[in-house]
A = this chain, B = another copy of it.
Amino acid sequence: MTDPLVIFTPSGKRGRFPVGTPVLTAARQLGVDLDSVCGGRGICSKCQVTPAFGEFPKHGVTVAPHALSDWNAVEARYDEKRGLKPGRRLGCQAAIQSDVVIDVPPESQVHRQVVRKAATDRVIEMDPATRRYFVEVAEPDIHDPSGDLQRLKDALRDNWEIESFEVPLPVLAGLQSALRKGNWQVTATLLTPAAGAPRLIDVAPGFVEAPLLGLAIDLGSTTIAGHLCDLSTGAVLASSGIMNPQIRFGEDLMSRVSYAMMNPGGAAEMTGAVREALNTLAAETARESRADPADIVEAVIVCNPVMHHLMLGLDPTELGQAPFALATSESLSLAADELGLNCLHPQAGAYVLPCIAGHVGADAAAVALSESPEQQDKLTLIIDVGTNAEIMLGNRNRVLACSSPTGPAFEGAQISSGQRAAPGAIERVEIAPLTKEPRFRVIGCDLWSDDPGFSAATAVTGVTGICGSGIIEAVAEMRIAGLLDASGLIGSAEQTGTSRCAPDGRTHAYLIHDGSEDGGPRITVTQADIRAIQLAKSALYAGARLLMDEMGVDRVERIVLAGAFGAHISPKHAMVLGMIPDAPLNAVTSAGNAAGTGARIALLNHAARGRIEQIVRRITKVETAVEPRFQEHFVNANAIPHAVDPFPELAQVVDLPRVGFNTGASGAGAGGRRRRRRN
């Protein structure tokens, strides 16, 4: 008689097995992705399956009602204690009796996929580096002496095919008592780092149900964001953000590097500050999700090169001067403890993504991991805007990356009425072309400023200033409304026909909102603001153009705006301003916090850590600081084209009256022009 046929869905894997074979055994032999922590002992309930009965013409089988063994005592006990969903069986208990079709529900798959919250439709495949294994360990035998650890190793090899692993001394010190308390049944937790041997990080008596947690950290110059994730489901349990305490040593990265250079022990002081903040963040996210920080077994960290060095305790001085040499560019698989992350599990691991170059950090690597430029058919430009903008351009043939020093203007800094994105900040601006009257929206309120009820709705927050996305829209709208010329000069009330353009020193400023009657601020866009935005957007545009030159292209097919800022700016206004190369509006998408997503991918998917190493090695690094064409593009990008134009660079060739916006740049501008003539 032929053995019964077993067909697993959704994988379609099939095979014949002797009557009495447990479903879990069949699944393992066929390589079906069916989870199990207890190794088939009916304890963990991870191997739940749903048998299907009746006719399956597609599979060519008929499944009889008793195709699986009867519900047994182990299943009954589990159902009573925890409840099994109707139709579910425990794969380790249900045995095959005749032909059967068995569905593995997503929650029983180890490599289940977790849909990302972001707008894009990509998913994260679960493949965590840290897993729990329940085992029964042989008791010691006086006639065959072997250590407790050796018998644990035997059990892990025999039950889980785990061949070798390292054991930190503190874990070894807890082994004897765990084995005896658990009556020789223990749950072992193993962490497999990106490099090096797996590590036994925990042994606990009996079967442990508490989830393993991981923390994905996006360590920015200004803010530090953390996402606490369940390492078996991929669920984000809590997200939290705190200010980077290094701000007190310098707002921007270069002032922190200077602080390190000027003050003996300054780098160590900053290292201490950021590590303390990481501990706070871990504790904060754990508190939010009512978890124990000691259950956090892994942290993944992405950050720019300067934060990378400061967080690792490496001197950042070299990053402040050419040739911008990193101490190390490879990823790091560390003990969290080495980074002073001492509120996590005592044996927690920390993975730091690789850096791409001295100006293009692990945060850019994380964006690459999230946005996968190396897998795109279309030539894709990815821009992550911050104090430095990281820019990548590529497709499956080639990927380029550079960093461009945009300065903090896009973050609302160095803008007269600028502020960080926070409730009360103007984030959207429209200016009526005829009346030149503005309307705006502030963060925390869905109404426009000319909607009824706006004042009441914003009574608490007030209108406090203008944030990065707001200033971009304001400048672009001013240009569209004719309040600015192509060189960026604000016209007078006479030239523009609106009294909102009022003298401000030797230039003019445009009034967006006057809250002074209610004790609030007067919010204007000054000529200096325009110049600051021109500097920032020229740098960004020049970086993108430099990569396009290097790639030998004049146009890109897709633009992805990454970062919190990228999620809020209007592509139309960014193009009017000349921040980004022109592209069809529907080809411009926002990837949200792509660096944070990349960190989360590396946290949840072990193989992704190897992948990003390879991607980073394949990326061609372009250094803007020493590239004459960057200066050339920078100067050329200063003007503000008055409409979305598919070839904005052509418009700029026309010699518009140009205002030298600072003395340092004028020389470069001359150099740029000289070179252009030569070509």
Which A residues contact B (CB, under 8 angstroms)? 140-150, 166-170, 172-173, 175-177, 195-197, 312-315, 317-318, 322-330, 332, 334, 338-339, 355-358, 621, 623, 625-626
Contacts and interface: CB of A to CB of B under 8 A. Distances in A.
19 contacts: A140-B318, A142-B323, A142-B358, A145-B324, A145-B325, A145-B356, A145-B357, A146-B329, A147-B330, A147-B355, A148-B326, A148-B328, A149-B329, A168-B338, A169-B313, A170-B313, A176-B327, A196-B196, A197-B197
Contacts of A625: 142
| Pairs A-B, 5 closest by C-beta atoms | A140-B325, A147-B329, A142-B323, A149-B328, A145-B357
Given A140-B323, A623-B142, A176 B330 contact: no
A173 B140 CA distance: 45
Contact of A148 (B145, B197, B312, B325): B325
A257 to B, nearest CB: 13
Nearest to A323: B142
Given A148-B327, A169-B334, A196-B196, 18 more contacts: A140-B318, A140-B324, A145-B357, A146-B329, A147-B325, A147-B329, A148-B326, A149-B327, A149-B328, A149-B329, A169-B332, A169-B338, A169-B339, A172-B312, A172-B314, A175-B328, A176-B315, A176-B318
Contacts of A339: 169
A259 B522 CA distance: 77
Contacts of A149: 327-330
A484 B73 CA distance: 73
Nearest to A339: B169
Nearest to A271: B173
Contacts of A318: 140, 176
A150 B312 contact: no
Contacts of A169: 312-313, 332, 334, 338-339
A176 B314 contact: yes
Contact of A329 (B145, B177, B313, B322): B145
A332 B141 CA distance: 22
Nearest to A326: B147
Contacts of A170: 313
A142 B339 CA distance: 29
A360 to B, nearest CB: 8
Contacts of A334: 169
A176 B325 CA distance: 9
Contacts of A175: 327-328
Given A169-B312, A197-B196, A145 B176 contact: no
A651 B312 CA distance: 74
Contacts of A144: 621
A315 B358 contact: no
A146 B621 CA distance: 10
Contacts of A324: 140, 142, 145
A588 to B, nearest CB: 29
A168 to B, nearest CB: 8
Contact of A141 (B142, B147, B195, B323): B323
A150 B322 contact: no
A196 B166 contact: yes
Residue from A150, A176, A329, A356 whose CB has the most chain B CB atoms within 10 Å: A176
A150 B196 contact: no
Contacts of A141: 323
A145 B328 contact: no
Given A176-B318, A312-B169, A315-B177, A150 B328 contact: yes
Residue from A144, A314, A322, A325 whose CB has the most chain B CB atoms within 10 Å: A325
A580 to B, nearest CB: 25
A184 B375 CA distance: 38
A177 B150 CA distance: 43
A313 to B, nearest CB: 5
Nearest to A152: B328
A596 B172 CA distance: 26
A145 B330 contact: no
B142 A329 contact: no
A347 to B, nearest CB: 13
A177 B315 CA distance: 9
A627 to B, nearest CB: 9
Contact of A621 (B145, B173, B626): B145
Contacts of A623: 142-143, 145
Contacts of A325: 140, 145, 147-148, 176
A195 B199 CA distance: 13
Contacts of A195: 166
Given A169-B338, A314-B172, A328-B147, A142 B196 contact: no
Nearest to A151: B325
A399 to B, nearest CB: 15
Given A323-B140, A358-B145, A172 B315 contact: no
A393 to B, nearest CB: 17
B172 A328 contact: yes
Nearest to A164: B195
